[in-house]
């Protein structure tokens, strides 16, 4: 008997008919909600061509949307690189045999994972002028906050990825005379990277979306462009601007997810690994022990 049949009983004729009724009812409810939203927008004139026309003009994209997109990509790109470095350093430090390295690294990771990201951004933004002098620290606050929070999560992903490699791999490497750093560099990490890839990219998608928190401190990104700049320039265009900016965010995340899928498939084709995939941060109940290691 297959594992699927052990966990799920195939529905009979009455159950299939009931499921079909539920499906039709759910689709009807979703259609009704969508029509209600459409009708309310129509009452407020949100589908009029005059308020959508600016988004069909190249000047709007060149002057407003692309600079916001560039701000989002700059913050996300720099924070992603720094967070990955932070995560690699502290994740490996947490695996150290030396308590004087392992314990402080664990404390740093747990502290920055526990502090809300918005609080980190606020703290850095308002603390920086008193230390570094007056200037615009919005970009630095967003990048530093994203780095500390997401880097701490990635540190747990790195630790879980290394621990997901079966113990026999390292034991065999020690048996042929490799030193600990050689075992880590040549045996464990190459296999762990493949196992970590889904969780890493999942966290990078979170990082990209979290750049929108820069809106609170007036960092010029996509969200700031959509909810402050464009409605001020084109009166009455708040809803169209929000929809357009939302579509851009969805497109960015889809591109990043597609890149992640391609990288994972390529790495698994080109590299043999016995490590189970590490669960994305926050996932539970994933086979292979990845979730417990991350959480």
Q: Are residues 131 and 266 in the same domain?
A: yes
Q: Which of 187-191, 224-228, 246-250 is the least confident region? A: 187-191
- Token pair of 8 as six digits: 């799920």
Are residues 261 and 205 part of one domain?
yes
Q: Are 100 and 235 members of one domain?
A: yes
* Rg of the chain (C-alpha set): 24
- Cβ atoms of 111 and 178 closer than 8 Å: no
Q: Report the range of poorest mean pLDDT among 32-46, 147-161, 280-294.
A: 280-294
C-alpha span between 212 and 210 (Å, rounded):
5
CATH of the domain at 281: 1.10.3720.10
Within a domain: 248: yes
Model pLDDT, residue 195:
77
- Can you state the angle between helices 189-210 and 138-164, rounded to 10 degrees? 150
CA separation, residue 59 to residues 64, 66, 129, 204 (Å): 8, 10, 36, 31
Residue 174 domain-assigned? yes
Closest C-alpha among 153, 150, 149 to residue 91: 153
Instruction: Flag whether 1 is in a domain.
Output: no
Residue linked to tokens 């086979």 = 287
- For residue 142, being part of any structural domain is answered with yes
In a domain, residue 4? The reply is no
Judged by average pLDDT, the poorest of 41-50, 59-68, 209-218 is: 41-50
Range of the domain at 153: 52-294
User: What percent of the chain shows pLDDT beyond 70?
Assistant: 85
Residue 7 domain-assigned?
no
Nearest to 147 by CA among 206, 86, 61, 237: 86
> For 259-275, what is each residue's pLDDT tens digit?
777 776 776 665 555 55
Reported as a pLDDT band with limits 50, 70 and 90, residue 238 is confident
Contact 149, 213 (CB under 8 A): no
263 SS3 class: helix
Segment 162-175, tens digit of pLDDT: 887 777 777 677 77
DSSP code for 97: S
Residue 35 CA, distance from chain mean position: 32
Report how far apart, in Å, the C-alpha atoms of 57 and of each of 12, 20, 74 are. 56, 45, 25
Domain shared by 86 and 204, yes or no: yes
Are both 158 and 28 inside the same structural domain? no
Q: Is the per-residue pLDDT at 248 higher than 70?
A: yes
* pLDDT for the residue numbered 1: 45
Q: Are residues 39 and 136 in the same domain?
A: no
d(CA 238, CA 244): 10
Q: Report the alpha-carbon distance of residue 155 to residue 204 in Å, rounded.
A: 13
For residue 284, the model assigns a pLDDT of: 41
Q: Are 39 and 56 in the same domain?
A: no
Pair (27, 109) in one structural domain:
no
Looking at residue 272, its pLDDT comes to 55
Cα gap 266→263, rounded to integer Å? 5
Residues 136 and 249 both lie in one domain: yes
Distance between CA 229 and CA 281 in Å, rounded? 34
| 226 and 262 housed in the same domain | yes
Highest mean pLDDT among 50-64, 103-117, 125-139: 103-117
Indicate the range of 86-90, 159-163, 188-192 predicted with least confidence. 188-192
Distance separating alpha carbons of residues 106 and 103, to the nearest angstrom = 5
Of 81-95, 98-112, 165-179, give the lowest mean pLDDT range. Answer: 165-179
The answer on 77 and 27 residing in a single domain is no
Domain count, the chain: 2
CA 258 remoteness from chain centre = 13
Q: Please state whether the predicted TM-score (pTM) of the whole model is above 0.85.
A: no
How far is residue 73's CA from residue 252's CA, in Å, rounded to a whole number?
10
131 lies in some domain: yes
Mention every residue, 6+ apart, whose C-beta is less than 8 A from residue 254: none
Are 57 and 191 found together in one domain? yes
Tokens of 12: 């009979």
Q: Residue 3: inside a domain, yes or no? A: no
User: In the structure, what pLDDT confidence band is assigned to residue 26 with cuts at 50, 70 and 90?
Assistant: very high
């Amino acid at each position: 008997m297959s594992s699927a049949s052990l966990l799920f009983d195939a529905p009979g004729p009455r159950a299939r008919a009931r499921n079909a009724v539920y499906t039709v009812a759910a689709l009807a409810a979703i259609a009704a909600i969508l029509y209600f939203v459409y009708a309310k927008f129509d009452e407020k004139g949100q589908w009029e061509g005059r308020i959508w026309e600016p988004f069909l003009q190249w000047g709007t994209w060149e002057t407003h949307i692309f600079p916001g997109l560039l701000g989002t990509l700059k913050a996300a790109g720099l924070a992603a690189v720094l967070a990955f470095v932070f995560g690699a350093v502290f994740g490996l430090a947490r695996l150290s045999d030396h308590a004087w390295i392992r314990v402080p690294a664990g404390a740093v990771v747990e502290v920055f994972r526990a502090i809300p990201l918005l609080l980190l951004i606020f703290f850095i933004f308002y603390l920086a002028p008193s230390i570094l002098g007056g200037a615009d620290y919005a970009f630095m606050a967003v990048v530093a906050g994203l780095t500390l929070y997401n880097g701490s999560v990635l540190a747990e992903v790195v630790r879980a990825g290394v621990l997901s490699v079966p113990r026999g791999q390292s034991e065999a490497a020690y048996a042929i005379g490799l030193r600990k750093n050689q075992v880590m560099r040549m045996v464990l990490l190459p296999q762990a990277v493949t196992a970590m890839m889904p969780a890493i990219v999942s966290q990078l998608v979170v990082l990209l979306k979290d750049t929108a928190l820069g809106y609170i401190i007036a960092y010029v990104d996509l969200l700031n462009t959509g909810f402050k700049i464009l409605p001020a320039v084109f009166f009455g265009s708040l809803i169209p601007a929000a929809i357009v900016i939302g579509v851009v965010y969805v497109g960015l995340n889809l591109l990043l997810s597609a890149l992640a899928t391609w990288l994972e498939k390529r790495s698994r084709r080109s590299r043999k690994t016995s490590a189970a995939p590490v669960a994305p941060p926050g996932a539970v109940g994933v086979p292979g022990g990845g979730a417990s290691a991350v959480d």
